[in-house]
Amino acid sequence: MTAQRTASLGRETSESSIQLSIDLDGTGKSTIETGVPFYDHLLTAFSKHSLVDLTVKASGDIEIDVHHTVEDVAIVLGTAIKQALGDKAGISRFGDALVPLDEALVQAVVDVSGRPYLVHSGEPVGFEHHLIGGHFTGSMVRHAFEAITHNAGLTTHITVLAGRDPHHIAEAEFKAFARAFRAAIEPDARVSGIPSTKGAL
């Protein structure tokens, strides 16, 4: 495993401007400024519960829609995770978590497999249309996970087992993902080299 599992990346398009840095071996400190308040809340929760230090400074055409900013930040976050993980030697590889938030309950399972795949289910009917905080569409939760997992090379299963309040459901999803991710990237002293029979992840 590399001594420092960090990455700093930028992305500039006609729709957004993003600067992001990550330390996988941090303490959960974050400074998040995306211009989308509820997304800031979700990313702060991800940082806190994964113990990943995360700094995000983003601006985008949120006067049109939050879609571009949310997606582009997730793309950069996933890319930074992949870069920071390096060759993945010595990691636990698999992680799972079951996280409640009041009436909401979410299970997340992560495999740092190198094969991007997202299975996402259980959000209640209509969740995708709900404006959380008046600006963040529920459909953006799944879309953010799609971009993160694809660009990080993760296999991720997220299942909403219970929930009524859209805020609680979305936050529980990010917290469950954070805890599963934390377990998956954790160094395992008993693992020698790459945790795969293929010899690569």
Q: Residue 72: which CATH number?
A: 3.30.230.40
Q: Does the pLDDT of residue 132 top 80, yes or no? A: yes
Range of the domain at 22: 6-185
Q: Please give the backbone phi and psi of residue 173, each rounded to the nearest 5 degrees, phi first.
A: -60, -45
Q: Looking at the domain assignment, is residue 150 inside a domain?
A: yes
pLDDT tens for each residue of 3-25: 699 999 999 999 999 999 999 99
In this structure, of 55-59, 67-71, 194-198, the range with the lowest mean pLDDT score is: 194-198
Tally of domains within the chain:
1
Q: Looking at the domain assignment, is residue 198 inside a domain?
A: no
Cα 119 to Cα 113: distance, rounded to the nearest angstrom? 14
Which pairs with CB-CB distance under 8 Å and at least 24 residues apart come from 25-32?
Answer: 26/51, 26/52, 26/53, 26/54, 27/51, 27/53, 28/52, 28/53, 29/53, 29/54, 30/54, 30/55, 30/56, 31/55, 31/56, 31/57, 32/56
The reported pLDDT for the residue numbered 198 is: 84
Give the rounded percent of residues in the chain with a pLDDT score beyond 70. Answer: 99
Whole-number mean pLDDT of the chain? 96
The reported pLDDT for the residue numbered 188 is: 92
Give the type of residue at 174.
F
Task: Give Dmax (Cα) for the chain.
Answer: 51
The reported pLDDT for the residue numbered 118 is: 98
Q: Looking at the domain assignment, is residue 82 inside a domain?
A: yes
Q: Looking at the domain assignment, is residue 109 inside a domain?
A: yes
Partnered with residue 7 across adjacent β-strands are 22
Q: Looking at the domain assignment, is residue 192 inside a domain?
A: no
Q: Does the pLDDT of residue 154 top 60, yes or no? A: yes
Q: Looking at the domain assignment, is residue 13 inside a domain?
A: yes
Q: How far is CA 120 from CA 32, 43, 85, 117, 144, in A?
A: 25, 18, 24, 10, 11
Q: Looking at the domain assignment, is residue 196 inside a domain?
A: no
Q: Does the pLDDT of residue 174 top 80, yes or no? A: yes
Q: Does the pLDDT of residue 2 top 60, yes or no? A: no
The reported pLDDT for the residue numbered 11 is: 96
Residue scoring higher pLDDT (201 or 148): 148
pLDDT tens for each residue of 26-55: 999 999 999 999 999 999 999 999 999 999
Q: Looking at the domain assignment, is residue 133 inside a domain?
A: yes
The answer to whether 88 and 24 are in contact (CB under 8 A) is no
With tokens 């702060």, the residue in question is 44
